[in-house]
Structure 1
Amino acid sequence: MNTFLEKFNTKYNSAPFSQIQLSDYKPAFEACIAKAKQEIDCIIHDTKAPDFDNTIAALDFAGQELDRLSSIFFNLNSAETSDEMQKIAQEVSPWLTEFSNDITLNEDLFKRVKAIYDTKDNLSLTVEQQTLLDKKYKGFVRNGALLNEEQKKKLREIDTQLAKLKLTFGENVLAETNNYQLHVTNEADLQGLPEGAKEAAADLAKSKNVEGWIFTLDFPSYLPFVTYVDNRELRKEISIAYGKKAFQNNEFDNQQNVKDIVRLRHERANLLGYASHAHFVLEERMAQSPEKVQSFLNDLLEKAKPAAEKEFAELTAFAKESDGIEHLEKWDGAYYSEKLKQKKFNLDDEKLKPYFKLENVLQGAFTVAEKLYGITFKEIFDIDKYHEDVKTYEVVDFEGNLVALFYADFFPRKGKRNGAWMTSFKSQFIKNGINERPHISNVCNFTPPTKTKPSLLTFNEVTTLFHEFGHGLHGMLANTTYPSLSGTSVYWDFVELPSQIMENWCYQPEALALFATHYETGEIIPQEYVDKIKESANFLEGLATVRQLSFGLLDMAYHGKPQPIEDVKKFELKAFESTKLYPDVTENCMSTSFSHIFQGGYSSGYYSYKWAEVLDADAFAYFEEKGIFNKEVAAKFKEYVLSKGGTEHPMELYKKFRGHEPTPEALLKRAGLV
């Protein structure tokens, strides 16, 4: 019996993880693709004249079993993968690309869509229906519907190659992360490292049957090491290892993959009539053009660079004065930043961590959501999980109606990629009068509990949890008719608004009082710490801003204009010229592990983080003005931002919430850059 080919006999139709066999996937993909093709054929061969319901809406609801299967499979391939699973991913990805091309390159289907699109002004459609019609029509055109047969064939080849290359890129980064470990046997080499991080490293060594301490390139292991360990040589070693992932001329090297992905993306864009991949992508973004993005990034850089240079000079002087360091290197950055922060604010993560027990912080995020949006979270134990670390929650409104299922997966492990993300196992939509509720997941990599301590978060991890939870709320509170417009299915430079605005509550005394209590004494975080958190919020903000802008500029350099890349490292250095502060490290290259743009969906979109910061600073200013738990502002944010998904142009939705377009002033003010 194949789990995916039966109806899930589970509570809330949740994924039956424990029943899934790896051998189920390939036959399930074959069967679900065949079924989706039949559904598409029914639309094409419908004898009735094409109209919105029998073509556009039918198309949006076609292939739902395939969508569900894909979301389960690819989510697990990120959070709980294995060599065998990666092999399956390499096999099925081309099938999915081909199926997607079979739809968008089908002339008969496109004719039906075009017939409706051409008469759209005579149809009395809702705003959501108009948006869906535009999206479907553009989806065909942007994926080759107007090409001739030879060009269509070429497009299929490019798409198949790109699907495989992106997977390989990610697999190489994961392999390089897993292949490195720093084994320390002399405790004196760990001088400065907090006890919790040391204990976690000892536990890891023990699990591998070796003496001493083991550190890896997983963020909860790597970051405390480079932030606190006094031994500069060891910081250098692990820092270089981190920076040279997939840049070692070995079997996991990504240099050729970077070149191939960039070249194929440009070829694809040109084939479709666009000047570059960035022109293609940005047509469907709030920013609209590479020129606008470039000018947005450069304007911010102009304002942030003087502050960054001043901060870098201060950090350099501090390192020289403290330890006689003549030249500040990349492996010194986190270390001396932390020392300077302690000196200036007498505040360090080790003082704060006891107040940020993971369970309390998560409960805090739940309470903030309850106060703002009237939803409650209850842990349940009768939902299947894909790993014992995962916790499952039922989310209901004040009337007791199901809002969503929520999965939380917070600790690193071998089959899980680095980083933090939100995803969904089942979309929200309304069909036959039933509002199908979504199944949403937050995946992070926080420090796991040890024998003596629970999982205690750094303040940075607290904001990460709130950030991903903001994405989660965007998914959970979705309330649209059509699945492809639901939840986070919005322009990518709008998708970060719900996540980034949530981070603001982490700095508010009123919100911190809800969850920042000492894990041993229960004492609420002292007001002086809260004041210092707020005071230090802009600490080295210039450097942080320039770093983010450098990634955005690198992304635009790759995708903004077609150009041959002979040497990935040289190309990267040129793109970083205007933002360079630290000396270059010869062995390192950021591009070869820049998963956001080469594996994830951020190509030509990395600027979105800064763009969304403009939106979030402006939006949160509204909350501050009326009260951070103001019901009226929260209701407007829920109605126009969180529940509407991609049913309307984001700028229109934002203006309905805020009353005006956002301006960068609130961001610059908050960041202390004006």
Structure 2
Amino acid sequence: MINSQLSTTFKTVALSAIVLMTSCNQKKEPVETETTKETEETANVLLKEWTGPYGGTPAFDKMTVADIKPALEKGMELNLKEIDEIANNTEAPTFENTIIPLEKSGAELSRVFTYYGILSGNMSSPEFREVQKEMAPKLSEFNSKISQNEKLFQRVKAVYDNSLKTPLEADQQRVVQLTYEGFAMNGAELDEEKKKRYAAINKELSGIYTNFSNNILADEEGYVTYLTKDQLSGLSEPLINAYAKAATDRGQEGKYAVTNTRSSMDPFLTYSDERDLREKVWKNYYSRGDNGDDKDNNENIAKILKLRKERVALLGYDNYADWRLQNRMAKNPENAMKLMNAVWPAAIARVKEEVADMQAVANANKDNITIEPWDYRYYAEKVRKKKYDLDSDEVKQYLQLDKLREAMFFVAGELFNFKFTPVEEGKVPVFHEDVKVWEVNDKTSGEHIGLWYLDPFARTGKRSGAWANTYRSHTTFDGKKTVLGSNNSNFVKPAPGEAVLVSWDDATTFFHEFGHALHFFSSEVRYPTLNGGVRDYTEFQSQLLERWLSTDKVIDNYLVHYKTGEPMPKALVEKIKKAATFNQGFATTEYLASALMDMKFHLADPSNIDVDAFEKETLTSLNMPKELVMRHRTPHFGHVFSGEGYATAYYGYMWADVLTSDAAEAFAEAPGGFYDKEVAAKLVKYLFAPRNAMDPAEAYQKFRGRDAKIEALMKDRGFPVPKS
């Protein structure tokens, strides 16, 4: 997942459909002199230019919550001054005097948002959430002042119209197109009355998004299941130690804490023999935002759906999905639904088979139960052992986090020619002692490419899940800027001196998020706007990188036993490969259920919607198996309702996976397999380096020589392959 970060100029705000996760207020102040501006910046560290080695780095060690509000307000003021200067330029609009200044604008605010993103996602606190709540509508007003600036839009439109008659260089043409479309999609051509309503809707949404996110975080922090020594049956020693540390960290010495995050919940549901506790942990996790209290999100969702529909209606669209998908690879909701509906029947049919296998095991054990959602992982693990003689806990002994990181560096070196070198502790400021930093260089030339930050462990105040983001992106139009990229995970921190052992699924996610980082570091674009992308494509690069986890070079050299150092036995490797499509019914169905619900919510009439009832009725109509639930139940579906980054775009993981499976076949069929130099060079040239400088469909055709086909996806999941 790519973290949605607030943009500093309209060039990105528009293109991301104004992702209003957070926001701030704008007040008119007297025009200030350069001296005053410098004094303000000196007074607030969050506005200051980054200093130190590597092209300058964020002063994470100096950021405070108290600095956030004044920094945001000053940053917005400075940005709006820049926008006014561009809009009021009396010269005829050109790329050089309109688009270039737009690309340069907002540097101070961009720096503030880097700190804001860390305090929101990695280091949240009650104090910060209060600031966040206050600033959300104010940032929305700021965004609207740019997106609805008539003079600015007319200049952009003039450059766009002229470029259609006299084309610019290819990447410049792409920047102009994306900038113009961003304005047009976000109401720049509306009349004044509609513009006011459009802005008011965005302002209201920004506050709801913030409230939605904070409610989820509150439920994640507020529901912890504490265990005693007699309730640990089935759990491994490393997991027990990790739960003990989590309890100690919360002042419960001598107990064991299962926190309300996926990385803590998932292994408990997989291994714990205590069915009553499995049910409790399951219900805690899947009822986040749905507990009928002051943190309940159902009313927030109903408001969001109504406001989104009203907003796009101002632009002449029947529903939010039609508006949102017009510049995605899918182009419209019908194409997205067609793909999901092609896979859904095979997925739920496989679930039926998986449940039958699990029920048979339960019956043979005389457990006297009927499989329920909190039983799925537990009995699936028993079926895995029975069918493939494969024990997930045994596999974990060979999946050490540090070794997996080394494996990712190896893959990056082989495919991208990148070298990762640890940065000496203290040389670069970090926001928490858990964060480590590596320098990224070109292996051949030694050229500095950027820094990679890793924040691997769960903590109070850190949102759940895994994500990647950038603190600075590669550009060259205004002097070369190197990349500052990060990966963020929520692995359970081990007891001191112990290795971090993770599941195969978690190892896959680790590789996935690193794929996003490699996309950042591979960039060869000139302009900031071209570092963006579309959701049903940008997940492709990261999903593809997952495939290298199971390559022989990684398995043979990096998957070694955490105690003995012995490589993973060939017999175990063979079992893993034979079980590659195991439990795909569960994995595909829980994901697709969320993707389908996302789309159906935004195609429905939200006038009098009962969110819980709509979720239940829709899933029933889809024949959703009762033995599992959506991967993200609606009341905590942060991808879709804490902002707009993935709204009507969650299907994009499946769309991207069609590309992934098809591209993986290109490697599998090459002479050098997954390390084939010729295919790797094409991968970097066409699918990573251009970012959004090229239409994604065109880029994929250049790589593969044709469009992607669904057959490889179905084959990878062990589903029946449709006839051509």
TM-score exceeds 0.5? yes
| Structure 2 Cα separation of the partners of residues 67 and 269 of structure 1 | 28
1:128 equivalent to 2:174? Answer: no
Unaligned runs of 5+ in 2: 1-42
Say if 1:479 and 1:157 are closer, same or farther in 2 by CA, change over 3 A.
same
After superposition, give the CA deviation of every residue in 1:292-333 in whole Å (9 maximum; x if it has no partner).
111111111133332232222222222222243442100001
3-state secondary structure, aligned to 2:511: helix
Unaligned runs of 5+ in 1: none
1:200 equivalent to 2:242? Answer: yes
Residue aligning to 1:471: 516
Which amino acid in structure 1 is aligned with residue 204 of structure 2? Q
| Structure 1 Cα separation of the partners of residues 405 and 302 of structure 2 | 41
3-state secondary structure, aligned to 1:439: strand
Which amino acid in structure 1 is aligned with residue 490 of structure 2? N
1:457 equivalent to 2:502? Answer: yes
| From 438, 449, 455, the counterpart of 2:483 | 438
- What is the CA-CA distance between 1:205 and the residue it aligns to? 2.5
| Structure 1 Cα separation of the partners of residues 260 and 185 of structure 2 | 39
Determine if contact 1:421/1:468 at 8 Å carries over to the other structure: yes
1:64 equivalent to 2:110? Answer: no
After superposition, give the CA deviation of every residue in 1:335-378 in whole Å (9 maximum; x if it has no partner).
00111111222222221222111111001000111011101001
| From 323, 335, 342, the counterpart of 1:292 | 335
| Structure 2 Cα separation of the partners of residues 204 and 368 of structure 1 | 33
| Structure 2 Cα separation of the partners of residues 164 and 74 of structure 1 | 16
- What is the CA-CA distance between 1:247 and the residue it aligns to? 1.0
- What is the CA-CA distance between 1:199 and the residue it aligns to? 1.2
3-state secondary structure, aligned to 1:496: helix
| Structure 1 Cα separation of the partners of residues 135 and 80 of structure 2 | 16
| Structure 1 Cα separation of the partners of residues 199 and 366 of structure 2 | 58
What are the residue-to-residue correspondences of 1:494-509 with 2, within 5 Å? 494-509=537-552
1:559 equivalent to 2:602? Answer: yes
Residue aligning to 2:383: 340
| From 461, 476, 492, the counterpart of 2:535 | 492
3-state secondary structure, aligned to 1:479: coil
After superposition, give the CA deviation of every residue in 1:396-431 in whole Å (9 maximum; x if it has no partner).
002111112110000000010110000111122113
Residue aligning to 1:5: 47
After superposition, give the CA deviation of every residue in 1:158-185 in whole Å (9 maximum; x if it has no partner).
1011111111111100100100111222
Residue aligning to 1:250: 293
What are the residue-to-residue correspondences of 1:466-545 with 2, within 5 Å? 466-486=511-531, 489-545=532-588
Which amino acid in structure 2 is aligned with residue 483 of structure 1? P
Say if 1:325 and 1:67 are closer, same or farther in 2 by CA, change over 3 A.
farther
After superposition, give the CA deviation of every residue in 1:590-626 in whole Å (9 maximum; x if it has no partner).
2111111111511101111111110000001111111
Residue aligning to 1:642: 688
TM norm structure 1: 0.96
| From 304, 309, 316, the counterpart of 1:273 | 316
| From 137, 160, 184, the counterpart of 2:227 | 184
After superposition, give the CA deviation of every residue in 1:101-160 in whole Å (9 maximum; x if it has no partner).
111111111111111222222223122111111111111111111111111111111101
3-state secondary structure, aligned to 2:397: helix
| Structure 1 Cα separation of the partners of residues 181 and 505 of structure 2 | 40
Which amino acid in structure 2 is aligned with residue 190 of structure 1? L
3-state secondary structure, aligned to 2:487: strand
| Structure 1 Cα separation of the partners of residues 627 and 702 of structure 2 | 46
What are the residue-to-residue correspondences of 1:165-180 with 2, within 5 Å? 165-180=208-223
Moved more, 258-267 or 120-129: 120-129
| Structure 2 Cα separation of the partners of residues 559 and 320 of structure 1 | 42
| Structure 1 Cα separation of the partners of residues 632 and 164 of structure 2 | 52
After superposition, give the CA deviation of every residue in 1:471-526 in whole Å (9 maximum; x if it has no partner).
1101111111111211xx11110011111001111112222223111222221111
3-state secondary structure, aligned to 2:135: helix
Determine if contact 1:547/1:579 at 8 Å carries over to the other structure: no
Determine if contact 1:560/1:604 at 8 Å carries over to the other structure: no
After superposition, give the CA deviation of every residue in 1:435-459 in whole Å (9 maximum; x if it has no partner).
2111101000112121352111111
After superposition, give the CA deviation of every residue in 1:172-231 in whole Å (9 maximum; x if it has no partner).
00100100111222x232211111111112222233144322221122321121111111
Determine if contact 2:362/2:368 at 8 Å carries over to the other structure: yes
| From 597, 603, 611, the counterpart of 2:647 | 603
Determine if contact 2:376/2:628 at 8 Å carries over to the other structure: no
| Structure 2 Cα separation of the partners of residues 95 and 643 of structure 1 | 36
Which amino acid in structure 1 is aligned with residue 435 of structure 2? V
Determine if contact 2:511/2:546 at 8 Å carries over to the other structure: yes
Residue aligning to 2:469: 423
Determine if contact 2:361/2:382 at 8 Å carries over to the other structure: no
Alignment size in residue pairs: 669
Moved more, 220-229 or 588-597: 588-597
Determine if contact 1:376/1:397 at 8 Å carries over to the other structure: yes
Determine if contact 2:330/2:336 at 8 Å carries over to the other structure: yes
| Structure 2 Cα separation of the partners of residues 287 and 561 of structure 1 | 19
| Structure 1 Cα separation of the partners of residues 343 and 678 of structure 2 | 32
- What is the CA-CA distance between 1:579 and the residue it aligns to? 4.2
| Structure 2 Cα separation of the partners of residues 26 and 184 of structure 1 | 41
Which amino acid in structure 1 is aligned with residue 355 of structure 2? F
Say if 1:584 and 1:513 are closer, same or farther in 2 by CA, change over 3 A.
closer
Which amino acid in structure 2 is aligned with residue 338 of structure 1? E
1:614 equivalent to 2:674? Answer: no
Determine if contact 2:348/2:625 at 8 Å carries over to the other structure: no
- What is the CA-CA distance between 1:461 and the residue it aligns to? 1.2
Residue aligning to 1:656: 702
TM norm structure 2: 0.90
Say if 1:21 and 1:57 are closer, same or farther in 2 by CA, change over 3 A.
same
Determine if contact 1:169/1:598 at 8 Å carries over to the other structure: yes
Determine if contact 1:244/1:589 at 8 Å carries over to the other structure: no
| Structure 1 Cα separation of the partners of residues 480 and 677 of structure 2 | 25
Say if 1:325 and 1:551 are closer, same or farther in 2 by CA, change over 3 A.
farther
Determine if contact 2:536/2:649 at 8 Å carries over to the other structure: yes
| Structure 2 Cα separation of the partners of residues 69 and 591 of structure 1 | 31
1:396 equivalent to 2:437? Answer: no
| Structure 1 Cα separation of the partners of residues 392 and 475 of structure 2 | 42
| Structure 2 Cα separation of the partners of residues 457 and 573 of structure 1 | 33
Which amino acid in structure 2 is aligned with residue 456 of structure 1? L
